Every structure is written in structure tokens, then in C-alpha cells.
Amino acid sequence: MASLKDLKIRINSVKSTQKITSAKKMVAAAKLRRAQEAAEAARPYAERMENVLTGLGQAVVDQPGGSPLLIGTGKDDVELVIVAGSERGLCGGFNTNIVKAARVHIVERLAAGKQVKILCIGKKTYALLRRDYGEMIIGQKDMSGVKSLGFADAQPIATELMDMFERGEFDVATLFYSKFQSALTQIPTKQQLIPVPLLSAANDEEPADELGGASYDYEPDEASILEDLLPRNVAVQIYRGLLENAASEQGASMTAMDNATRNAGEIIDKLTLVYNRTRQAAITSELIEIISGAEAL
Amino acid sequence: MTDSLKFELVSPERLLKDMQAVEVVVPGSEGDFGVLPGHAPVMTALRPGVVSVTASDGDTAERLFVKGGLAQVGVSGLTILAEEAMDMDGIDADELKQKLADTREDIEDAEDDVEKARLIGELEWMTALSEALAA
């Protein structure tokens, strides 16, 4: 049986843990709103970009000599898997879930005899992947200095990606991130970045209908616009992934910390009960000693 | 024919403008062009420059600076996907001048070509912006 002093120490330690988790919960709740707004504000651009690309892509996809960003390098031997996670812990299963999804994909590719390279964004996914796939990790992007995520933060990653692609270091790039649905649900998502996946046949007729049969005039021409647009699209998709991730992280953190705070509360209640019982037992035995001592006289 | 067109200006961060306009002047890569309601479908790259919008309920043109991007004129209206966009009123001319000078210096000092090319790109839009401010 633990002594009164031991119990007191444990209660105090759980109490201070609870203070930390409840503070983190509050911080996450405040940050969540901002992150969510940012993620939602960025959606229109990404959606319109997708529309434009689909329209343009269909116009040039059948022509020979199209950009490898659009039609691919013609093989899929080397795949770059980008795993975006968070910089900090205390966010429940957020990073684990993303890594789990990425792991399934990596195992699948490896089983198919392909080569896999991994790029980690954020400290936590790196820590999780390092042990099993250490030799495949080609880099880790540190986002800890980033206070509020801007497009300028996604751009360098995209530029690096483009350089690597041009040097022929990979054929396909896939991004793993967590899509924000609500504070309770975040969906680990896989998205192919390169080559750009075109929305397929279902949208085929839409652009034509919208224009009432007319076709776009391109200035300068389709190819040069695409050349400019495709690299930007990569950056936009990464940016969107990072924004969704930021919102998801805060959501996951809030939920996890809420649970942790509640658990801590339960433990404190239980320990307090034990503490009081022990105290009472000590008092009772002392009383018995005194009374029986007095009776013996 | 309708007397106004739907104008949307989006940057990667957010939707900046969503309004009805009577005329929009767009800095296309091949030259400025005006878009009036019922314009033929065009898709064009943009150079750094000023988009000036005349709203359907206003007389004066609103001026916005865009740092490159893409403009798409469709039946529904004009959509600009800007790389970066800012309101002309919020720009500090002195600060810009300072930045311009700094960038020029950096170009002189730049050692590798990649860095130099990036800085020249920066300089290009800053120059365009300062010219637009002076005008």
C-alpha cells in the first residue's frame, strides 16, 4: 500500500499534467479556427486551377512532345513519397495515421519491385519513418520556423521537387497529408503530384458546353501557358496539403488533449479517493490504539 | 447583352475579389487588354502589372497589383489566378524603393546563376510595381 506521501506526490503530478493538456487544448482550439479559415480560403484557387488545367490538359494531352509533368516520363520505376506531418507532438494519432497510410503505399510499391524515395516534411513523420526506411529518406523539411503558413513556404519545396524531377531522380511523386474534415475527423489522404492527374472523361464535355461551342484563344499559346502553370500547380497542391495538414493537426490536437484532460480528471478523482481512505484508516488505527491503551489502564 | 461581367481575383491564399464589373483592364503577357461584358473566351498568361476594375456600381477604377498569373475569360466572366495580388493603397512607396535598391545590390553580389535568376525575377515585379505606383 502506497503511503500517504506517495499518493500526494502522484496526485500532484497528475494535476500538473492535466494543467499542461488543458492549456494545449485551449491553444489548439484557438489556432484551429485560424488554420481552418486559411485552409478554406485557399480552396477556390486550387479548384479553379484544377478546372483550367483540365481544360488545357485535354487540349494538349494527345499532342506529342507534351510536358513530362503532365504525361509523365513514360515509366514509374522511381517514386518519391512526400510525407507531410507536424513539427510538434501532443496531437494524438495525427502523425501516426499519415505515416500508416504512407507505409501501406511504400510497402505496396516495394513489393511491386519499384524504387521508393521518401521526403519528410516536419520532424515527427521523419522520426516515425526513420527506423524502418532510414536509407530511403532523402531529406527532411523543417517547418518549425514557420509561424503562419504562406504560399511562400510551399514554393521552395515545389522548386526543389521540380529540380529533382528535371534531373530525372524520380518518375512519380505522391504527397501524403491529412485532409481536414472536422475537429474530430481528419482523413489521411494520398495525392499524386507528378504527373498531374487529369480529371478524366466525366468532365470531357463540360468546358465545351460552358463556352457554348466556342473555344479559348490562347495567348501566347497552350504549351507556354502550360509550361508556366504546371510547376505552379505543384506548388499550389503542396500548399493546399500543408494548409489542410495545419488545420488537421490542430483539430487532432484539440481532441486528443480534451481526452487527456478528462482522463487526468478521472485519475485524480480515483487517487483522491484512495488517499482519503488511507488517511481515514490511519486515523482510525490511531484512535483504536489510544482507546485500547486507555482501557488497559 | 448583359451590362456587367463577373470578375474574380484569386490568389493562392484566398479569394480576393468576387464582384460584378463593367470593365476590367488586364496586364496580359502580350500586352494589356480590356475585358468588357461578352468578351470572347481567352486564356492568357499575365505579366506583373496593374489590374484595374470598374465596378458596376462605381465610377472610378479600382487598381490592384498582380505578380504574374493567369487570366481566363469565359462565358461566365473573368477569372484571374494571380501568383500574388495586393491592393495598391496598402503599399509603402519608400519601403518599396528600399527593397528595390537592396535587390539590385543582391544581384551584384549573387554568386550562382540560380540565385541571380530568382533575384532578377524579383526585381522585375518590383520595378513594375514602382512604375505603377508612380503613374
Average pLDDT over residues A226-240: 87
CB contact under 8 A, B15 and A41: yes
Cell 498569373 -> residue: B69
CB A97 within 8 A of CB A178: yes
Which of A40, A50, A52 has the highest number of chain B CBs within 10 A, making it the mutation to test binding with B?
A52
Among A133-137, A144-148, A184-188, where is mean pLDDT lowest? A144-148
Q: Give B70's contacts in chain A (Cβ within 8 Å).
A: 52, 225, 228-229
What is the rounded distance in angstroms from the CA atom of residue B85 to the CA atom of residue B80? 10
Q: Which amino acid is at A22?
A: S
CB contact under 8 A, B30 and A219: yes
What is the rounded distance in angstroms from the CA atom of residue A161 to the CA atom of residue A155? 10
Nearest residue on chain B to A207, alpha-carbon basis: B74
CB contact under 8 A, A214 and B70: no
List A residues 191-210 in contact with B (Cβ-Cβ < 8 A): 210
More confidently predicted of A3 and A276: A276
Nearest residue on chain A to B82, alpha-carbon basis: A45
φ, ψ dihedrals at A244, nearest 5°: -60, -40
List A residues 237-266 in contact with B (Cβ-Cβ < 8 A): 239
- Which of A211, A224, A236 shows the shortest C-beta gap to B74? A211
- Which of B11, B42, B70 shows the shortest C-beta gap to A229? B70
CB contact under 8 A, B29 and A220: yes
**pLDDT-derived band at A205, boundaries 50, 70, 90:** very low
| Residue A148 grid coordinates | 503562419
- Count of helix runs (H) and strand runs (E) in chain A: 7, 6
pLDDT in tens, B51-93: 989 888 777 778 888 888 889 888 878 999 988 888 877 777 7
Query: In whole numbers, what is the pLDDT of chain A averaged over residues?
Result: 86
What top-level class would CATH report for the domain A21-256? alpha beta
Q: Give B125's contacts in chain A (Cβ within 8 Å).
A: none
pLDDT of residue A204 exceeding 50: no
Active site residue A91: yes
**pLDDT-derived band at A68, boundaries 50, 70, 90:** confident
Secondary structure (3-state) at B17: strand
Average pLDDT over residues A82-94: 90
Residue A69, judged by CB atoms within 10 A of its CB (0-12, 13-18, 19+), counts as: buried
What is the rounded distance in angstroms from the CA atom of residue B65 to the CA atom of residue B26? 10
pLDDT of residue A206: 45
| Residue B2 grid coordinates | 448583359
pLDDT of residue B128: 81
Give, in order, the Cα–Cα distances in Å from A268 to each of A13, A20, A274, A281, B46: 10, 15, 10, 20, 63
A127 touching chain B per CB within 8 A: no
Q: Give B29's contacts in chain A (Cβ within 8 Å).
A: 219-220
Nearest residue on chain B to A149, alpha-carbon basis: B13
Closest CA to A28 of A183, A186, A189, A142: A183
pLDDT of residue A55 exceeding 70: yes
CB contact under 8 A, A217 and B75: no
**pLDDT-derived band at A25, boundaries 50, 70, 90:** very high
CB A141 within 8 A of CB A119: yes
pLDDT of residue A208: 42
What is the rounded distance in angstroms from the CA atom of residue B85 to the CA atom of residue A11? 55
What radius of gyration do chain A's Cα atoms show?
28
- The two beta strands, B42-46 and B5-10, are unpaired
Average pLDDT over residues A246-250: 93
Among the options A7, A56, A82, A91, which is catalytic? Answer: A91
Which of B17, B43, B114 has the highest number of chain A CBs within 10 A, making it the mutation to test binding with A?
B43
Q: Give A218's contacts in chain B (Cβ within 8 Å).
A: 42-44
Share of chain A above pLDDT 70, in %: 91
CB contact under 8 A, A211 and B70: no
Secondary structure (3-state) at B46: strand
More confidently predicted of A178 and B112: A178
Give, in order, the Cα–Cα distances in Å from A152 to each of A146, A157, A176, A200: 10, 10, 20, 31
Q: Which residues pair with B20 in a beta bridge?
A: B6
Share of chain B above pLDDT 90, in %: 5
CB contact under 8 A, B41 and A215: yes
CB contact under 8 A, B13 and A218: no
Q: Which residues pair with B8 in a beta bridge?
A: B18, B79
pLDDT of residue A57: 73
What is the rounded distance in angstroms from the CA atom of residue B55 to the CA atom of residue B73? 17
Nearest residue on chain B to A227, alpha-carbon basis: B45
Among A43-57, A253-267, B4-18, B33-47, where is mean pLDDT lowest? A43-57
